[in-house]
Structure formats: structure tokens, C-alpha cells
A = this chain, B = another copy of it.
Amino acid sequence: MSYPVFAVTVDLVVLTVRDGELNVLLVQRGLKPHLGRWALPGGFVHADEDLTSAARRELGEETGLEGPGGHLEQLGSYGDPGRDPRGRVVTVAYLALLPDLPTPIAGTDAAEAAWKPIGAHGLAFDHDRILADGIERARSKLEYTPLATAFCPPEFTIAALRQVYEAVWGEKIDPRNFHRKATTTPGFIEPTGRSTEGEPGRPARLYRRGDAALLNPPILRRNHDG
């Protein structure tokens, strides 16, 4: 039996919230093709490596951290002929949601790595589309899952959680209604008993993520026809 030969890569859409804004991890390519252009971090899947393991390895190489917290899931595969001038390359994209981390480190084949606000970048390959798909997946998952906590450190305030929603969705949310929603949705968050100190305003109680896999009822965006 004969069949076409492919190369397989993983590419990562790594999202975090910095200063109330949704950011994506990009690398400046240090190799051809698209040398010097910004792209999603990624690389070839090794010969005896699981797809998810490859994604985790790349994530560790690019961020230097895969510690507790955070979230990694498969986003989808992209394999148009001609998407990579080197030949027939199928990429399996993964979506990672991380709490705000120190500055990323450049990988071996990247000249530079940096957090960038989401928006119009002219990324290499078909990475603009992959990024758009990842953002839409994140926006959607915040509605039905407790994944917003993946953007937060292990202990967080309800206000910090609300700011995650506001950053990812790009819309303001009433703090009082969100507080009620977060505290009454079963399994979403659990109180730790501790509170913040030294911050302006009334101290806020600290929570950790709950054990629910789905939010019931969900937290729905106002208007999204997409």
C-alpha cells in the first residue's frame, strides 16, 4: 500500500490576561520560511511522541513553565496543501490558557518570544486563522465551563475572575451580578477562608477553583451571533 507522506507539527495558541487585556504568546521566526515574521509557537512532532505530549513539550520550551494551573486542549487540525512551502505539513493546533506569567523565553528556533494583545497581526502560515479559532474557542468555553479559573493563580478574588471574563469577551460585566453568579453556581469556585491584604478598597475573599467540569447554569454572553 502506498500513500502520501506528511510532516506533522503542533502549534500553540497560548492565551493569558495581562493588565485587563487578552494576550497571545507569539514568537518571531528564526528560520525559513517566513523568517522574521511573527507566528504561533510550535514545532514538529517527534518520531515516538503523542500529539498531546508534543504540545506540552512545546509549551514548556516556550514558556519555561507548565506548572499547576492552566489548561491545554486540542483546538483542531489544519492541513491545506500549500499552507507550508516546505511540503505537505499538517499541523495540530492546541489551545493553552495560562495565568499571567513572567516574560516568556525564546525557544531554540525562535529569535524572540513575547506576549502580544490579540488583534490584527500578519502572522506566518495560516496562523491568523488558527489564532482566531482559538480565541473563539476560549470565548465560548468561558460560557459553559469553569475554565476562566485557568487564567487565574491558585487563589484569586471574584473581581479577578470577573476581569478575566471582561478581557476575553471584551465587554463590561456588572460586578454585583457577577458576584452572585460566581458564588451561587455549584462547583465553580470554593472559598479558601483567606482575604486580600494591602489593596485599595475593602478586602476581597480569596477563592480557589471548584470541582465542576461544566457550569450549570452557564454564564452567557449578551450578544454573539457567530
Contact = CB atoms under 8 A, between A and B. Distances in A.
Interface of A: 1, 3-8, 31, 44-51, 74, 76-81, 86, 88, 90, 92, 144, 212-214, 216-218, 220, 224-226
A115 B127 CA distance: 38
Contacts of A217: 220
A49 B8 contact: no
A6 B46 CA distance: 10
A4 B44 contact: yes
A78 to B, nearest CB: 8
A79 to B, nearest CB: 4
A183 B167 CA distance: 35
Contacts of A49: 81
A4 B46 contact: yes
Given A6-B7, A77-B77, A88 B47 contact: yes
Contacts of A78: 51
Contacts of A74: 76-77
Given A90-B92, A226-B213, A4 B45 contact: yes
